[in-house]
Amino acid sequence: MRVIVCGAGMVGSSIAEYLAAEGNQVTVIEQDVETAARMSDKIDVQVVVGHAILPDVLEQADAGNCEMIVAVTQSDEINLMACQVAHSLFDVPTKIARVRHQSFLKPAYSNLFSRDHLPIDTLISPEIEVAQAIVRRLHAPGSYDTITMADGRVRMICVAITADTPIINTPLRQLITLFPDLTAAFVGIVRNDRAFIPSVDDMLLEGDIAYLVCDDRHSTRIMAALGHSEPEARQIVIAGGGNVGMYLAELIEQEFPGVHLRLIERNPDRAQMLADRLKSTVVLSGDVLDLDILDEAKVGQTETIVCVTDDDETNILASLLSKRHGCGRAITLINKPTYSPIVNNLGINAVVNPRSITVSRILQLVRRGRIRSLYNLREGFGELIEVEALEGSSVVNHPLRDIALPTDVAIGCVVHGDEVLRPKGDTMIRAHDRVILLCRKETIRDVERLFSIRADYF
């Protein structure tokens, strides 16, 4: 597939790297010469230096022969216009644009992006995606990360393993004997900053970050087995009233009506706007690093603080100060990947990475074939995907033990109708079953081919 990526920032470079690693023909358009040069040195893609909305630049990027344009520059206007020019002059079939300004996202204006106006197939809002990711974590207290798949029947849970984890130092094969009625499988472990797919003989050790896939109906019991029986928070503080903080407060008001929610925003005018817009949230104007403001927000009596300012260092410090003052749990937004490996050791309970979340959403739209959903895990680790087994594919009507899976692939579960099956050697994949698996980005194409219809089927 030929893809044009507009913008070589953190999101654009990640998307280009993933797609190029899978054998797609990727061209990146970047206006800044130095950023373009770094991209060209780092990734095996074609790089065009120029403004993404200019017809001659898009022509140089061979837009007339590309199948998709992904516009993720820092400017909403450039992203929208690049898609418009790609459609009007080059008839690019699929157009994805990242936008940040809330006005573009109002349902009342959705007709703006129809084929007769701005023909953009999908708008991606990083702020809304991040807010939704945080709400998922609030629904699963104690988790480092969590997502649902297969229409809510399957849940991926990421947890930090501590000395208090009941199943620590236990071979994974023994967990089936200990919990025979629970449908769950560990698909990944991060240990000492190294990610790997565990075997049945591996054990969970203190300091690990573990990824497991389970039947959503069993998630509460599984969290208890991992030493996490925390109830959902009834008092929450949001540090930062930008777009992420605002969207998050609105979602919490909708999904957690009984929660006492307080929000701290430094800018007085912005704080007043938020106070007028939000229904039940108490908005405080002040510095999230000011101890008096934290006291006024009752951080010491709060179960969870969510730090989502636009500064990583402020988010980390506010999280640590709040926990020192008695807050039970800290969820922290961090943009810089260099900080991610150290925050768990600082006592921060969960980290939200906007780039990873946005890349996951865009890659889910880019994937072809029968991949239903996708989640980009830890940087450089792999992707958790939900793929449908087609009638006539090589995996259908064969037990798992007889399927030649690519290396670095771990099956988490098989969804057959309303049943969620733990993967075993004799587990049979039927047509239209959904399979949840973890794989490296280099093997995505192999997985797609494995689950697609065989050429000799016809």
Residue-wise pLDDT tens digits, 381-429 = 788 889 888 888 888 898 999 988 888 889 999 999 889 999 988 999 9
Look at residues 344, 458, 326, 441 and name the one whose alpha carbon lies nearest to residue 385: 441
Look at residues 150, 153, 122 and name the one whose alpha carbon lies nearest to residue 374: 150
Average pLDDT over residues 225-230: 83
State pTM to two decimals. 0.82
Q: Select the more confidently predicted residue: 361 or 77.
A: 77
Per the CB < 8 A criterion, the answer to whether 323 and 341 are in contact is no
Show the tokens assigned to 78.
Answer: 């450039």
Average pLDDT over residues 100-106: 76
Residue-wise pLDDT tens digits, 11-23 = 899 889 888 877 7
Diameter over CA atoms, the chain: 72
Average pLDDT over residues 189-217: 90
Average pLDDT over residues 44-65: 95
pLDDT at 267: 97
**pLDDT higher than 60, residue 369:** no
**Considering Cα of 38, then 41, then 42, then 45, what sign does the dihedral take?**
positive
d(CA 55, CA 119): 17
Average pLDDT over residues 33-41: 91
Q: Select the more confidently predicted residue: 232 or 150.
A: 150
Q: Select the more confidently predicted residue: 6 or 367.
A: 6
**pLDDT tier, 296 (very low <50, low <70, confident <90, very high otherwise):** very high
pLDDT at 457: 39
**pLDDT tier, 239 (very low <50, low <70, confident <90, very high otherwise):** very high
**pLDDT higher than 80, residue 372:** no
d(CA 186, CA 160): 13
pLDDT at 177: 82
**pLDDT tier, 228 (very low <50, low <70, confident <90, very high otherwise):** confident
CA angle 5, 380, 422 (to 5 degrees): 110
**pLDDT higher than 80, residue 332:** yes
Look at residues 166, 161, 235, 243 and name the one whose alpha carbon lies nearest to residue 205: 161
**pLDDT tier, 79 (very low <50, low <70, confident <90, very high otherwise):** very high
HEC string of the chain? CEEEEECCCHHHHHHHHHHHHCCCEEEEEECCHHHHHHHHHHCCCEEEECCCCCHHHHHHCCHHHCCEEEECCCCHHHHHHHHHHHHHHHCCCEEEEECCCHHHHCHHHHHHHCCCCCCCCEEECHHHHHHHHHHHHHHCCCCCEEEEECCCCEEEEEEECCCCCCCCCCEHHHHHHHCCCCCEEEEEEEECCEEECCCCCCECCCCCEEEEEEEHHHHHHHHHHCCCCCCCCCEEEEECCCHHHHHHHHHHHHHCCCCEEEEEECCHHHHHHHHHHCCCCEEEECCCCCHHHHHHCCHHHCCEEEECCCCHHHHHHHHHHHHHCCCCEEEEECCCHHHHHHHHHHCCCEEECHHHHHHHHHHHHHCCCCEEEEEECCCCCCEEEEEECCCCECCCCCEHHHCCCCCCEEEEEEEECCEEECCCCCCECCCCCEEEEEECHHHHHHHHHHHCECHHHC
CA angle 6, 10, 11 (to 5 degrees): 55
Q: Select the more confidently predicted residue: 369 or 396.
A: 396
**pLDDT higher than 50, residue 211:** yes
Strand partners, 330: 305
Per the CB < 8 A criterion, the answer to whether 213 and 207 are in contact is no
**pLDDT higher than 80, residue 110:** no
Average pLDDT, the chain: 88
pLDDT at 162: 86
**pLDDT higher than 70, residue 307:** yes
Average pLDDT over residues 241-251: 95
pLDDT at 225: 86
Ordered by where they begin, the domains of the chain are 2-124 (3.40.50.720), 130-225 (3.30.70.1450), 235-356 (3.40.50.720), 363-457 (3.30.70.1450)
d(CA 304, CA 343): 16
Average pLDDT over residues 442-448: 79
Show the tokens assigned to 229.
Answer: 């029986």
**pLDDT tier, 323 (very low <50, low <70, confident <90, very high otherwise):** very high
